[in-house]
Copies of this chain bind each other. A is one copy, B any other.
Amino acid sequence: MAAKKENKAVEKNASTEEKIKDAAKRVFTQKGYAATRTRDIAEESGYNLSLINYYFRSKEKLFDIIMMEQLQMFIHSVTDLLDDHNTTLQEKITQIVAHYIDMLKKNPGVPFFVMNEVNTAPEKLVARIKLQRNDLYIVKQWMEFVKSRPQTALNPAHIFLNLLGMTVFPFVAAPMISLRLGLDQQQFDALMDERKKLIPMWVAEMMN
The 0/1 profile, CB within 8 Å of B marked 1, for residues 177-194 of chain A is: 101110100000001001
Q: Which of B120, B157, B175 contacts A181 (CB 8 A)?
A: B157
Q: Contact: B164 with A169, CB < 8 Å?
A: yes
Does A126 make an interface contact (CB < 8 A)? yes
The 0/1 profile, CB within 8 Å of B marked 1, for residues 134-163 of chain A is: 000000000000000000000101101110
Q: Which of B32, B132, B162, B194 contacts A120 (CB 8 A)?
A: B32
Does A1 make an interface contact (CB < 8 A)? no
Count of residues in A whose CB is under 8 Å from the partner chain? 49
Contacts A129-B179, A194-B155: A162 and B202 contacting too (C-beta < 8 A)?
yes
As for how many copies of this chain the complex holds, the number is 2
Contacts A158-B198, A161-B169, A191-B155: A118 and B175 contacting too (C-beta < 8 A)?
yes
Q: Contact: A129 with B166, CB < 8 Å?
A: no
Q: Which of B109, B118, B205 contacts A176 (CB 8 A)?
A: B118
| Residues of chain B lying within 8 A (CB to CB) of residue A161 | 166, 169-170, 177, 195
Which residues in A have some Cβ–Cβ distance to B below 8 Å? Answer: 30-35, 109, 112, 114-116, 118-120, 122, 125-126, 129-130, 132, 155, 157-158, 160-162, 164-170, 172-173, 175-177, 179-181, 183, 191, 194-195, 198, 202, 205-206
Q: What would 10 more interface pairs be, CB under 8 Å, given A35-B120, A118-B176, A129-B179? A: A31-B34, A115-B172, A129-B176, A157-B191, A158-B191, A161-B166, A161-B169, A161-B170, A162-B202, A202-B202
